Structure 1
């Protein structure tokens, strides 16, 4: 029997329909997309402020980076548990309004010449906490908006727009920063974020009230229950272990990629940007074909294809004998091709991974299941980034990238040797438990 919170507009014959035709998802997708563009645009201005206005030291820059992730590490499990008891749609609306006010405060601080390290650090923490609440609400809310057999397509649509925003946003942000200046740019992002709150408020869903806690039970019990469910589930356990392993590998290669390309291979900055653009194109195409792969091969094999494919680009960068003397054409071709396959693999596996775990978890545990996986991922990413610096210093860039490729292979191996390989998107929480 399906979870009671599953929407009633499932398509005939169990076939997923185009999710953008569902009004509630159209509002959800539109709000998410414009927020992604706004964040990508203002992200450029944020970096410029830190470097050129505040003249931040390397230590201060690293502190800003850590402040953006810290809420996930310290509050992720708590917020995830709250999302199984709070109204998720209302949380999205409130956090969007809060983010709009926080972004507008940067404009005010700039105009009154009061922006400094501490004031911007406070805004960064506030934004980080609000983004944590928004992320923790949006993932468990999605299964209430679309039928569960359409979750892969819904995540693919979100992935496509996110990729486009991540590609076009920084370039647009740089142009608008020169044209409008930082105060107007942050104010514009605040307005965009406020408009996203309006779109989120138009989502029409029914959110059932959670069962009251029994005497003596508190939020710690809720968190423990979510962790037990995630790591004892015969499908979610290997999925979680695989994605944790993937995050370790990705933190290693992504941490040293820029310095490897710019310093070791000697590519100019514009060429580095071109390689990232190829990665974005690959990500868009991967998200485009992800639903078809998942429907034809099943969720498990769809995840495996993405996990296995990602080994190829990083292994090639580790073993192909190229250096700064190879010529820019050869270097740009190889590195761009590697980034394209990297993006393609992520587009394929992300929609199938996220869609499957949203489909099989009961509604009452969606927030805790997602927050458990996401919080551990963030902790592993931080540790992996530190490990990457140590490995690169001791072993060099190529061997470090090779180690990342081996860890990526281990993530794929977990899928193929576990029951997860048999997973299908038609699974329910009852049949997969």
Structure 2
């Protein structure tokens, strides 16, 4: 039987062949799975409750989604500066606890009949703010737990767990809202965040923390360092631009899509949840193949082709009519293809980003890209709500879906498309 020491490298991180045998990595994986499941359920519960129970208009739904996404724009850069100085385990545990308590309080308020649109807005902002810190921390945590040659394998595993959450989360959220009530659906989200809290707090290995700078921390200075590093690196700069284009148009698409399915196609909340769930199996397949395809075809080729396939498939949705079995099957196919292509992009681009970024900059670079990309989602959600109100659901969905193709075009015209079969070297901070 091999000794315990043979399963770790000299740095104390798991050796390449033993990633899944490492207890701390499994705890991170299980915690992230539970957290993502709670997050994806909540992302469906709140809009569906607003549409089906509070009869929210297109503009109100756009505002609700924008409020939930606003913390990405407001807090991402601060989260990155904080995470680079704090232990990621501590950050993830605290944010899980906060989200569990917020959703638990909302569940009680809902059962008492106090959960209206203002309450949903406050809840969406609180959960969104805590999710920003969790997401930045878990992206940085992998680099501190595993070796460089395990990044693709580790990201594939973590993104695979996110795929599992995409399978179960929307279906669970849609079914609970439709069959039971929004308070019970919110309580389920609180339960998953509590499970994540219990798993991640059991991580025992000391993180490979970057050496802190001398002198007192200056948040704005550290934020500026992250912005400057990303702006000067051609690969990271392209990732920012492509992410911004995708997140803006995707947020607009989803705002219209969540109205289009129940109001134009007359689908129930359960079927809407099922349609959204189809993203999960496709994403799971994408996660599995992401560990192999870049080494065979090249990172650039995989990124451009997967983005074009996953983003372009939404152009099929405006052609659908009615709630027949054919329509539902088509929506499932669209979700599957989108999940497959999107997850290939997510895993591949995260591995590239982590490879070119020094350890001491991981949190700030992740936050900068999140700020530039996900920070566009509130604006996209508002734009989607505005277009739906002014142009109608079908036309708005066609226009916003066409806009999603801007992201693969940006990547195809950049140095990102020319990446080969090996990860690029790390840059200098």
- Sort the Cα spacing of 1:39 and 1:385 in 2 relative to 1 into closer, same or farther, 3 A: closer
Per-residue CA distance 1:309-332 (angstroms, 9 max, x = gap): 1244134446xxx4638x935544
Q: In structure 2, what is the Cα distance between the partners aligned to 1:120 and 1:413? A: 37
Q: Which residue does 1:14 correspond to in 2?
A: none
Q: In structure 2, what is the Cα distance between the partners aligned to 1:44 and 1:406? A: 24
Q: How does 1:308-347 map to 2 (within 5 A)?
A: 308-317=308-317, 322=319, 324=321, 328=324, 330-347=326-343
Q: Which residue does 1:358 correspond to in 2?
A: 354
Q: Is the 8 A contact 2:241 2:372 kept in 1?
A: no
Please give the TM-score of this superposition, normalised by the length of structure 2: 0.81
Shift of 1:123: 4.5
Q: How does 1:357-376 map to 2 (within 5 A)?
A: 357-376=353-372
Q: In structure 2, what is the Cα distance between the partners aligned to 1:111 and 1:246? A: 38
Q: Please, which moves more after superposition, 34-43 or 297-306?
A: 34-43
Q: In structure 1, what is the Cα distance between the partners aligned to 2:248 and 2:41? A: 28
Residues 1:384 and 2:385 are matched in the alignment: no
Residues 1:131 and 2:131 are matched in the alignment: yes
Q: Please, which moves more after superposition, 400-409 or 63-72?
A: 400-409
Q: Which residue does 1:9 correspond to in 2?
A: 14
C-alpha RMSD of matched pairs (Å) = 3.7
Q: Which residue does 2:297 correspond to in 1?
A: 297
- Sort the Cα spacing of 1:279 and 1:185 in 2 relative to 1 into closer, same or farther, 3 A: closer
Shift of 1:272: 4.8
Please give the TM-score of this superposition, normalised by the length of structure 1: 0.81
Q: How does 1:34-433 map to 2 (within 5 A)?
A: 34-41=34-41, 55=54, 58=57, 63-109=63-109, 121-173=121-173, 189-203=189-203, 204-208=205-209, 210-213=211-214, 218-263=218-263, 266=265, 268-269=267-268, 272-317=272-317, 322=319, 324=321, 328=324, 330-391=326-387, 400-404=396-400, 406-423=402-419, 424-430=421-427
Q: Is the 8 A contact 1:156 1:347 kept in 2?
A: no
Secondary structure of the 1:9 match is: coil
- Sort the Cα spacing of 1:307 and 1:62 in 2 relative to 1 into closer, same or farther, 3 A: closer
Q: Is the 8 A contact 1:6 1:144 kept in 2?
A: no
Q: Is the 8 A contact 1:7 1:147 kept in 2?
A: no
Per-residue CA distance 1:125-171 (angstroms, 9 max, x = gap): 43332222212211111111222222223222223322332332344
Shift of 1:366: 1.0
- Sort the Cα spacing of 1:56 and 1:268 in 2 relative to 1 into closer, same or farther, 3 A: closer
Q: In structure 2, what is the Cα distance between the partners aligned to 1:120 and 1:331? A: 31
Instruction: Flag the structure with larger Rg.
Output: 1
Shift of 1:173: 4.6
Segments of 5+ residues of structure 2 without an aligned counterpart are 1-8
Shift of 1:226: 0.6
- Sort the Cα spacing of 1:193 and 1:315 in 2 relative to 1 into closer, same or farther, 3 A: closer
